[in-house]
């Protein structure tokens, strides 16, 4: 029984707009990717980590994660792909044959706690093939018709509302997501065969496309994703919390 974590860190961080890719951006003096890897290692249930890096920065990433004494499990760095899905697939290709559970986690969620990692792995080991952390949605969510039908009224874009999903059954989904390894392999093989424009925004989506069951466990605010400067500021709140 071996658990591998794929830590996706190959994105460019366009929306954050820094001069280094997002995973290298520091929070409280430490790169996001290191914060994330420390917590995966501290969970005690992850045996090894594969980090996906921007292809020109594989060596730089190895220096950053290889030199951190708090990352107490073996870390291997591979070049990611053009999309997140391709990056995860590149990581999965490096997965040890012995790994029977695979976690997929975003370096952009550096403060997902070791406790969350343990709860996701426990739910997979309890027999759930695909497990995602999720939080109840606090806003009322409206679906709107696709962008081309949006019109401008007095200089303001107006979008016709098509429906209001029942908020009580919605969850905002985070990472780490945990999978039975054979199921994730199958989901990615099927996903790779589809139109690249239809690439999934998370791995559980690929499992759902197979018609297989995905389950949600309670997520946490600390696992917020850093997309903008505002998120970076908020994430700083969690930097001092115990791993
Ligand atoms: N990611 C990846 N490979 C890609 C794109 C994204 O490994 N080709 C990773 C990112 O490094 C990040 C996670 O997927 O940890 C979630 O992606 P996102 O938050 O969108 O990060 P970026 O793509 O880097 O940011 P942006 O979309 O603003 O450019
Ligand atoms: Mg992105």
C-beta 128 within 6 A of ligand 1: no
Could you tell me where the DSSP H helices lie in the chain? Answer: 32-42, 58-66, 84-93, 114-125, 181-192, 203-209, 229-235
Domain that holds residue 108: 2-136+169-238
Question: Does residue 104 form part of some domain?
Answer: yes
C-beta 87 within 6 A of ligand 1: yes
Question: Does residue 243 form part of some domain?
Answer: no
Question: Does residue 162 form part of some domain?
Answer: no
Give the pLDDT score at 147. Answer: 64
The whole-chain average pLDDT of the chain stands at 95
What's the distance, CA 147 to chain centroid? 27
pTM more than 0.80: yes
- Give every CB contact of residue 179 below 8 A, 6+ residues apart in sequence: 101, 102, 103, 104, 124, 129, 130, 131, 187, 203, 207
Question: Does residue 51 form part of some domain?
Answer: yes
CATH number at residue 31: 3.90.550.10
> Which-ligand-closest: CA of 22?
1
Domain count, the chain: 1
pLDDT band at 198 (very low <50, low <70, confident <90, very high): confident
Question: Does residue 164 form part of some domain?
Answer: no
Question: Does residue 151 form part of some domain?
Answer: no
pLDDT in tens, 182-196: 999 999 999 999 887
Question: Does residue 159 form part of some domain?
Answer: no
Nearest to 226 by CA among 19, 6, 24: 24
Question: Does residue 53 form part of some domain?
Answer: yes
Give the pLDDT score at 239. Answer: 93
Give the pLDDT score at 155. Answer: 75
Q: Determine the distance separating the centroid of ligand 1 and the alpha carbon of 15, expressed in angstroms.
A: 10
Pairing of strands 2-8, 99-106: parallel
pLDDT at 152 over 70: no
């Amino acid at each position: 029984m071996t658990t591998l974590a794929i830590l996706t860190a190959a994105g460019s961080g366009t929306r954050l707009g820094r001069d280094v890719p997002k995973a290298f951006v520091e929070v409280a003096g430490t790169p996001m990717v290191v914060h994330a890897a420390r917590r995966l290692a501290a969970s005690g249930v992850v045996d090894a980590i594969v980090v996906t890096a921007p292809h020109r920065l594989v060596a730089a990433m190895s220096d950053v994660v290889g030199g951190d004494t708090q990352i107490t499990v073996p870390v291997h760095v591979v070049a990611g792909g053009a999309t997140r899905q391709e990056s995860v697939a590149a990581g999965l290709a490096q997965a040890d044959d012995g790994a029977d559970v695979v976690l997929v986690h975003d370096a952009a969620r550096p403060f997902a706690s070791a406790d969350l990692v343990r709860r996701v792995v426990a739910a997979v080991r309890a027999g759930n093939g695909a497990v995602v952390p999720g939080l109840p949605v606090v806003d009322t969510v409206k679906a709107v018709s696709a962008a081309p039908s949006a019109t401008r009224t007095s200089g303001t874009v107006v979008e016709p509302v098509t429906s209001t999903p029942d908020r009580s059954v919605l969850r905002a989904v985070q990472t780490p997501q945990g999978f039975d390894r054979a199921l994730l392999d199958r989901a990615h093989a099927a996903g790779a065969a589809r139109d690249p424009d239809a690439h999934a925004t998370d791995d559980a989506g690929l499992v759902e496309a197979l018609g297989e069951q995905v389950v949600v466990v309670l997520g946490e605010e600390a696992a917020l994703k850093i997309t903008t400067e505002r998120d970076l500021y908020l994430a700083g709140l969690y930097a001092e919390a115990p791993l």
